A and B are shown apart, each in its own frame.
Chain A
Amino acid sequence: MAFGKHAQVWYIDFMIGVMIFSIVVVTYFYYVEHTQYSDENLMNSLISEANTISGYLMTEGYPRNWTLANITTVGLTGGNYRIDPSKLSNFNSWGYEERRGYIHTTKDYYFYIEHLNGTVFNKVCYDPGAGCVEWNTSKYLAQNTRLLISDGEIVKAVLYIYQRP
């Protein structure tokens, strides 16, 4: 059955080819996933996210005089580097997930404000179960610090964006 033998040889070749292709693809993605390059991508992503979110927080938000009833995007200032106490109060009033929704991120975050002497005075991570504990143990952590004025005093707004361990 010369005809049947030729067909069998073709079938084996095909199987081997598929297997080799699969090995190459799996090897590639395993490599990519477990190399420094992938870590850097993640870090860059976190840094970019931290920049974007801290940029949001420096603005007036949208609408400019947003309230809990009409907010679209959160911002904590009056557009002049001065923290708007009512906006900050509204921001603090949200739960972790709600706040994450308004700052438009899927990552975890940790945010607080501190005096220049390092005293923290507006830590919003009151919900440890929502990821506020793991931030300083995460391998993938991006931090962004911005300068603002609160009650006439220059303060630092510190934001961490991280991936849970």
Chain B
Amino acid sequence: MTLKDILGMDDKKALFFTVDALIASLIMIAGLILITSSYISEQPRSLINHMSQDLLNVLAEQKVHEANNSFIQDLVNNGSITDVNNSILVQLGEFWAGNQLVLANQFISNVSQGILDEIFGYSIAIDNETIFSEATPVKNSLVSSKKIISGIQKSKPVKGFVAKARATSVQKITNQIVSFSPEGSGWDGSSTSKAYGYITKWFNITPGIKINNATLYLSFHIEDGGSDWTVVNINNGTCNITRNSLGMTEEGYFGSRNVTACLKNGSNNFFVTLWNDDYNAHLHPGMYLAINYNTTEDVSYIASEHRERIYFDNIRSVEANNDGSGVWALMPFHVPAGATNVSATLRLNLQDVNDLKDRYLVGWSYQYRDAWDFRIYVNSDTVFYQRNATSYDDIDDCLSYSAACGSNYNWTGSFNITGAVVTGTNIVSVYVNNYGDTVGGDGVTSIYSNPVSDPANSSYLELNYSLTPSLPYSVVEIRQLKSFGGTPNPTKNVNFSFPPEAVAISSVYTHIAEQYSYITRVYGDDAYVPANLVFESPAPRAVPTDVVIPNNFLDVSELARNYIRIAETSGNDVRQESSVDYGFYLPSSVGYGQVFATLSEANADAISRLQSVMGSFVNVSTVELDNTSMSDVPSLWGPAVIEVRVWN
């Protein structure tokens, strides 16, 4: 029996449908009521959130002096609080950092009392160490807010001192090189009538320095037989090096002597006497004096304007038995990469130059060619300047088989050679009454120079240029010397690295030591095989003792290895005494360091750091210290995390 049967409505199908709909509607309404009744609302937490954040922030903002509180005033009065401009939280952090936990508890308890309604409990902790906590239990919600406070750390002083240091003068160990360029000469002569070449070199050793070691490398071509004579006279006889003491086995000689005891502070001089009875006597590349010394010097900035006057040695050639005289000299000078406003002037004072006319003897052939009195070359085998004979009726060349000599004259003049200057090593060659193996001067021919007592009339090269300093602050320059070592070879290499303390390269030179030379090439690089050609002799035998290696081919990094190669194209050997002379800069100051509780500790630390960055090359002699007290500096210590918990 269906509902329709019960109601007797078999013919009223629509009415039965309506009853079904009513039942369905009731079910829907009941369902909706059940669903809405089952909705669970969550209590809003915004108020407690705000309380936690607000409490933290107002305590971070309010200053100690703003808290009108007798307890705080007592703390100020008894010195527990030293800075009333601290915020409440920072002051709390200072108590905590100073392990004054009881005081911190009393302080924050007092300051925060009454801020929150009684329905709230709260606690305050620093770096998870609870400073204060109410005993009220957590019943409902707990909200935590955190804030970072910089400058404090547990058990660290909240105020301290920092210091920076700048060396104003230092004691350092460094090296000085005094080079002799190839020059000469004494021509021919005999054992009974000697033709001498005399070379006088003056150089200065800074007063006050202590010479640790001085080595004189000797490289020359002189007579290896016959009677003895003093070849090198140091400081007017303080030390003498005789020919026989050299133990020569051939005319080309290379050796070294310790001359430490021969030198003095101030002006020094070497007087070299050269003689050869059947050839010309002269210096070879590689003759130089290496001085290792201790000095105290003021720290200075790297100069941007350079003005250098390089004096020639005084060179005299004295003829014998009418064999003739003539002098020549190589004058190397160096222009660094990046130099601007370069200018170079050559001044010569030539004395007793013989007017050769056209009777210039070519070798031993008794053939003559067009004569000139002196010549100058600059970085080339093309003549830069030639002084021709002036007296056409003077036909003598002063040789023994001539009737009379041409007249001698003195010549003084200057040349602007700026246009011929190149970056790197430059060579000026001066030949007076001789060239190659030919000679024609009369009596005594000389390139005059006396930088000590007569600098204005001396022969010199003056070089000027501007160069942007590689470092903008004051520095200390150190120079180190390293020999190539090994055995003689036509091609020799050396490598070197700058020390970790070096912050920039000042300059690097290689000193070429050769018993016989012709065309020499020098390469520099920070990789092996060194590929950068930095010098090539512009003419045969134009080999200077010093060649500069441009800084841009080198690497100052302590991990880098730099290479220099010297290659003699003639097959003659480059000697193992060849060396690299590398200069670098050390910083002379350090900035602020760590914070120390006392001023003396901060100063000692600054000096220690300064000594550390300058390495073993330097002992800081006088230091300028700049120190300051530190507080409220975010970088002092920490940071510490302050946490406020609020609950209800």
Contact = CB atoms under 8 A, between A and B. Distances in A.
A47 B44 contact: yes
Nearest to B60: A81
B50 A54 contact: yes
Contacts of B47: 51, 144-145
B37 to A, nearest CB: 8
A44 B14 contact: no
A114 to B, nearest CB: 11
Nearest to B66: A152
B390 interface: no
Contact of B54 (A37, A80, A82, A147): A147
Contacts of B29: 24, 27-28
Nearest to A80: B61
Contacts of B28: 24
Chain B CB within 10 A, most for which of A44, A51, A81: A81
B3 interface: no
Interface string B1-41: 00000000000101001100110010011001100100101
Interface string A137-165: 00000001111110011100000000000
Which bucket holds chain B's interface residue count?
20 to 34
Nearest to A9: B14
Contact of A149 (B12, B44, B62): B62
A20 B68 contact: no
B115 A20 contact: no
Interface residues of A, number: 36
Contact of A44 (B21, B44, B67, B115): B44
A119 interface: no
B57 A81 contact: yes
The listed residue with most B CB atoms (<10 A of its CB), out of A12, A21, A48, A147, is A147
Contacts, number: 84
Contact of B62 (A24, A44, A152): A152
A10 B51 CA distance: 65
A37 B25 contact: no
A32 interface: yes
B21 A147 contact: no
Given A16-B18, A20-B22, A31-B36, A146 B54 contact: yes
Interface string A68-92: 0000000000001110000000000
B334 interface: no
Contacts of B61: 80-82, 149
B63 interface: yes
B614 to A, nearest CB: 47
A59 to B, nearest CB: 13
A144 B45 CA distance: 11
B84 to A, nearest CB: 11
A32 B47 CA distance: 28
B209 interface: no
A116 interface: yes
A80 B32 CA distance: 49
B46 A12 contact: no
Contacts of A13: 14, 17-18
B55 interface: yes
Given A24-B28, A153-B66, A144 B50 contact: yes
A101 interface: no
Given A13-B18, A147-B55, A153 B68 contact: yes
Given A44-B41, A47-B46, A144-B47, A17 B21 contact: yes
Nearest to A58: B54
Contacts of B41: 37, 40, 44
B115 A144 contact: no
A99 B445 CA distance: 109
A116 B62 CA distance: 15
A17 B25 CA distance: 10
Interface string A41-57: 00010011001001000
B54 A20 contact: no
A120 to B, nearest CB: 15
A21 B68 CA distance: 69
A106 to B, nearest CB: 20
A36 B54 CA distance: 32
Contacts of A148: 54, 58
B115 A147 contact: yes
Nearest to B49: A51
B45 to A, nearest CB: 10
B14 A10 contact: yes
A21 B22 CA distance: 9
Contact of A32 (B25, B36, B57): B36
A12 to B, nearest CB: 7
Given A20-B22, A47-B44, A31 B14 contact: no
Contact of B14 (A12, A47, A146, A153): A12
A99 B41 CA distance: 32
B25 A23 contact: yes
A54 B117 CA distance: 18
Contacts of A81: 54, 57-58, 61
Contacts of B33: 31
A46 B46 CA distance: 12
Interface in A114-143: 116-117
A148 B55 CA distance: 9
A153 B36 CA distance: 48
A163 B63 CA distance: 40
B25 A24 contact: yes
5 contacts: A24-B29, A31-B32, A81-B54, A116-B114, A147-B58
Given A145-B47, A152-B65, 12 more contacts: A13-B18, A17-B18, A31-B33, A51-B44, A51-B46, A51-B50, A81-B61, A146-B50, A149-B61, A152-B68, A153-B68, A154-B58
